[in-house]
Amino acid sequence: MRVRELAEWLAAAFEGDGEKEIGGAAPLEEAGAGELSFVGSRRAARQFDASAAGCLIVPLDFPNPGGRTVIRAADPRLAFAQAVGRLHPEPPFEPGIHPTAVVAPDAEIGPGVTLGPHVVVGDGSRIGAGVRVGAASVIGRRVTLGDHCLLHANVTIYDNVQVGNRVVLHSGCVLGADGFGFVLSGERYEKFPQVGQVVIEDDVEIGANCTVDRAALGVTWIGQGAKLDNMVHVAHNCRIGRHVVVAAQTGFSGGVVVGDYAVIGGQVGIGDKARIESRAVLGSKCGILSSKIVRSGQVLWGIPARPLKEHLEQLASLARLPEMRREVAELKRRISELENK
């Protein structure tokens, strides 16, 4: 694709050689003459002159005294992501049901669906148009999959789960397993029946080996456009808001509520019935205590989680502890000398 064509497709302005052919995308420090990269940070800006990339996507006000071939965008990272999708399209696929797939007689299969080897579709389930299901995935009974979903290999969806349109589920996902509910009866635990549902709204993406448990009663709900990284656990009766981003190895205990557009870092642990309000930010390894409320827009860090400014002050104090220990020892020595005199 020529630079001119790519810029037009991005609805962006370009400078330099619009006829230059771009065949792929690569990191700034590795891109060659026929590849595209982008400048999205101060560090990247310092590498601009040294990069051999044939074309660079840069901010609108980025200086270009050497007249290099660039495309200007308000958000270079976003424009680059869109361009990568255009330069590296997904391989074509042929709709159809593999001979080894097992589909219940009363399951409804929409047009253009692809079911890979050894896929199982249970009684009463409905698979929307253009859905692709990878090998060895299991879809339980009375499951609804909206249009144009993508399930990679080895996804498991238990009974009575509702999945919206354009949802992506990566390998190893498990939706609708029993929540962790037990009641101590004497000296043994009795299982609390988990009879609720899981509802996944449109445009959600859930990473590899994530688990979303069904509600004990009611619904475990993941809102439109939410993105879960690999190995995230969502317990029973959680409600994850729209366009929430969750990094890897985070765990939500039962009944947690997360507001829209919250950002949650990796390895965060959230206690049961905590509430994270909209646009709050939880830094990596945050520990959120049970029933705690994180207010809208707050940025928290640490274990237990504290406002970022307070957390940084505590880290600074901890760093001074060895010095303070020496100072205290010296003071004790001087006091002892004074007392002896």
Task: Spell out the per-residue pLDDT of the chain, length 341, in tens.
Answer: 999 999 999 999 999 999 999 999 999 999 999 999 999 888 888 888 889 999 999 999 999 888 999 999 999 999 999 999 999 888 878 899 999 999 999 999 999 999 999 999 999 999 999 999 999 999 999 999 999 999 999 999 999 999 999 999 999 999 999 999 899 999 999 999 899 999 999 999 999 999 999 999 999 999 999 999 999 999 999 999 999 999 999 999 999 999 999 999 999 999 999 999 999 999 999 999 999 999 999 999 888 888 887 888 887 888 888 888 888 888 888 888 888 87
> Can you give the pLDDT at residue 42?
81
**Short-list 235, 243, 211, 337, CA closest to 290:** 235
Match 């509702």 to its residue by tokens: 162
Q: CB-based contacts of 303: which residues, under 8 Å, 6+ apart? A: 285, 286, 287
- Round to whole Å and give the CA distance between 95 and 100: 15
What is the pTM (predicted TM-score) of this model? 0.85
The one-letter amino acid at 152: H
3-state secondary structure of 136: coil
Q: What is the pLDDT of residue 255?
A: 96
Q: Which residues are catalytic?
A: 236
Query: Topology of domain 3-87, per CATH?
Result: 3.40.1390
* Domain map (residue ranges) of the chain: 3-87, 155-304, 315-340
Please list, in sequence order, all residues whose beta carbon lies within 8 angstroms of the beta carbon of residue 114, skipping any fewer than 6 positions away.
Answer: 93, 94, 95, 96, 97, 131, 132, 133
Positive or negative torsion for Cα 314, 320, 324, 327 = negative
Neighbours of 325 (CB within 10 A): 10
Looking at residue 170, what is its pLDDT? 98
pLDDT of residue 118: 98
Q: Which pLDDT belongs to residue 113?
A: 97
Could you check whether the bond before residue 304 is cis, i.e. omega within 30 degrees of 0? yes
**CATH number for the 155-304 domain, one of 2.160.10.10, 3.30.465.10, 1.10.287.130, 1.10.10.60?**
2.160.10.10
